[in-house]
Amino acid sequence: MAGEIERRGSCLCGAVRVSLKTTGQGVGACHCSMCRKWAGGPALSLESVSDVEFEGADNISAFSSSEWA
């Protein structure tokens, strides 16, 4: 896809790594108190368009952070 940008990242401890391709469109932000405390500001997200890969996926889990999220 034209205009794709490859992005890479990891969790704070480095146990999980992610790589993806995005156009840079579809950027989102969360301003809830939990995200602001954890990140020191709003938590940001990118819409992925293709080729999402996780390393260390066995270290990923989910939990309810609030009544609505």
User: Domain-by-domain residue ranges, the chain?
Assistant: 5-56
* d(C-alpha 19, C-alpha 50), whole Å: 10
Q: Tens digit of pLDDT for each residue in 13-68?
A: 999 998 888 877 777 888 888 888 877 778 777 776 677 899 999 998 877 777 87
Please tell me whether the overall predicted TM-score, pTM, comes out greater than 0.85 for this model. no
* Dihedral sign for Cα atoms in the order 18, 24, 30, 36: positive
- How far is residue 25 CA from its own chain's centroid? 14
Q: Tens digit of pLDDT for each residue in 29-43?
A: 888 888 888 777 787
Task: Give the closest residue to 54 by CA, choosing from 4, 1, 18.
Answer: 18
Instruction: Report CA dihedral (5, 41, 55, 2) to the nearest 10 degrees.
Output: -10
